[in-house]
């Protein structure tokens, strides 16, 4: 339970003043409404917001999005920008273990009324085709030399191998690649773990969902994205698998004595860090970027597998089914980005852990297709209720370093969710709601049951009302695959 100060700024923002804890350089700022803030207090994640505010070079404030919950070092939903020219640091805890875990949305021309009788067959085929579960390998293999190219070049590399469409590059954040990856900084153990996992879903909260657009809030933006009520879509949530996990593990070991070397005093050892411009900081950034590129390739290959399955089930080429990529957004990543700080343009290191970009209309990094409406923002909810598509708004650039939340956010630990499922049949409960669910793990559905998550309607409402991102469409799940 967090017992420190939480001062209301307005209906959607709460301040932890920097006077709360010795060493805080900036205020903490949590985005939440009155109902959400009561739940947020219960897991001490606000304490992590305060801890992050002590990092050298942090700019403006330590942020948390409305999906905030306890994480390693940083809370999940945490955002922090540091200035490398002012001693700013990079912290693996501000990125997370699953580097570039992210979400991508694929639209189709298929109407639900034409697909209802094939949903079970479709879900079973996706479950058979897309490897999921702990340690599961993929059917598409890469040689060691190819793997080094893959982590350097990102999703364009696998698309050139026929595992996607050229248009996918333009609707993936950053073109599916982050420059500056350093494959030579990746350990042999990480390469060994990642060798057979590209193109696999993994376990935990990773999923592939077949959904239907069941409500449109912004018809103009929805039309630009190719979304309309009644259309079937696919949402994929996964990251860099064992490859990224090992890179984070290696970095935490390598950096454990670095704060002392640079005279950095930390309130929590999990915030281990290095100055961005130090050799240690550059080494972690190079390896982290390699993992980010791996993750984009991972989701790209699963997109290819999903298109193959849809083509087989509906008896038409994926192109005829209109299976274009709407967008792919990364969370669990750190990027160098320019922002206005006290009237001058500064290149900041923006940590987003369980948070995504939400760039507004006109932003230079947006593809031409979305320049007029803003960046598509994808916020998964839970497998029994809904997910949302939004677009970035100017308020994100002004207040949150172009960021918003990455999902509804857990309100129960996995253990608590399993205990709450005792005596229940979660698969049957989902089916009664019209959701066909498959899971590889024995407790996958129990861990991820809808009650384990906050209500996405509340979470998205905060983003919308605060002017960070605006609602475009709601997606209702009809088929779910879990690891």
DSSP string covering 162-200 = TSS-HHHHHTBGGGG--TT--GGGS-HHHHHHHTTTTT-
Give the DSSP H or E segment for 2: none
Token pair belonging to 47: 């304490």
Q: Vertex 286, ends 133 and 397: CA angle to 5°?
A: 85
Of 209, 210, 231, 211, the residue nearest 222 (C-alpha): 231
Q: Taking a C-beta distance cutoff of 8 angstroms, is the pair 64, 29 a contact?
A: yes
Query: In the beta sheet, which residues pair with residue 331?
Result: none
Token pair belonging to 399: 């207040």
Q: Residue with structure tokens 């597998």?
A: 305
| Catalytic, out of 69, 363, 399, 406 | 406
Cβ count within 10 A of residue 372: 12
User: Active site includes 406?
Assistant: yes
C-alpha–C-alpha distance, residues 227 and 119, integer Å: 19
Handedness of CA 8, 13, 18, 20 (dihedral sign): positive
Token pair belonging to 447: 């861990």
Token pair belonging to 376: 């598509």
C-alpha–C-alpha distance, residues 253 and 241, integer Å: 19
Residue 140, C-beta contacts closer than 8 angstroms, at least 6 positions apart: 163, 198, 199, 301
Token pair belonging to 460: 């998205």
Query: In the beta sheet, which residues pair with residue 232?
Result: 212
Active site residues: 406
């Amino acid at each position: 339970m967090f017992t420190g100060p939480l001062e209301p700024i307005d209906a959607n923002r709460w301040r932890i003043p920097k006077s709360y804890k010795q060493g805080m350089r900036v205020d903490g700022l949590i985005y939440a409404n009155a109902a959400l803030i009561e739940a947020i207090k219960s897991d001490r994640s606000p304490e992590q917001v305060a801890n992050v505010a002590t990092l050298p070079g942090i700019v403006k404030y330590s942020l948390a999005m409305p999906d905030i919950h306890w994480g390693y070092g940083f809370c999940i939903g945490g955002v922090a920008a540091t200035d490398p020219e002012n001693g700013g640091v990079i912290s693996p805890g501000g990125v997370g273990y699953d580097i570039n875990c992210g979400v991508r949305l694929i639209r189709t021309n298929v109407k639900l009324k034409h697909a209802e009788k094939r949903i079970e067959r479709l879900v079973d085929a996706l479950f058979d085709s897309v490897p999921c579960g702990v340690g599961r390998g993929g059917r598409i293999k890469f040689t060691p030399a190819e793997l080094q190219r893959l982590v350097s070049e990102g999703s364009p590399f696998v698309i050139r191998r026929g595992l996607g469409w050229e248009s996918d590059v333009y609707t993936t954040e950053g073109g599916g690649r982050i420059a500056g990856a350093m494959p030579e900084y990746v350990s042999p153990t990480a390469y060994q773990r990642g060798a057979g996992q590209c193109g696999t879903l993994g376990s935990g909260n990773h999923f592939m969902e077949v959904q239907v657009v069941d409500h449109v809030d912004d018809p103009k933006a929805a039309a630009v994205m190719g979304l309309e009520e009644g259309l079937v879509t696919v949402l994929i949530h996964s990251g860099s698998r064992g490859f990224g996990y090992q890179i984070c593990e290696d970095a935490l070991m390598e950096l454990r004595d670095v704060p002392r070397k640079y005279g950095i005093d930390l309130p929590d050892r999990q915030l281990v860090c290095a100055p961005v411009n130090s050799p240690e900081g550059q080494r972690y950034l190079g390896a982290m970027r390699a993992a980010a590129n791996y993750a984009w390739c991972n989701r790209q290959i699963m997109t290819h597998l999903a298109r193959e399955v849809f083509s087989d089930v509906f008896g038409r080429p994926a192109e005829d089914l209109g299976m274009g990529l709407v967008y792919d957004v990364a969370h669990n990543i750190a990027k160098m980005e320019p922002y206005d700080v006290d009237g001058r343009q500064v290149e900041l290191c923006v940590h987003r852990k369980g948070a995504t970009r939400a760039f507004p209309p006109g932003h230079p990094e947006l593809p031409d297709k979305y320049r007029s409406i803003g960046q598509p923002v994808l916020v998964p909810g839970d497998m029994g209720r809904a997910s949302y598509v939004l677009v970035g708004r100017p308020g994100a650039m002004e207040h949150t370093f172009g960021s918003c939340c990455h999902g509804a956010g857990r309100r129960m630990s996995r253990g608590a969710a399993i205990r709450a499922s005792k005596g229940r049949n979660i698969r049957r409960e989902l089916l009664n709601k019209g959701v066909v669910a498959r899971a590889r793990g024995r407790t996958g559905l129990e861990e991820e049951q809808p009650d384990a998550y906050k209500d996405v309607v509340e979470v998205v409402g905060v983003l919308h009302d605060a002017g960070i991102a605006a609602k475009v469409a709601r997606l209702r799940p009809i088929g779910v695959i879990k690891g």
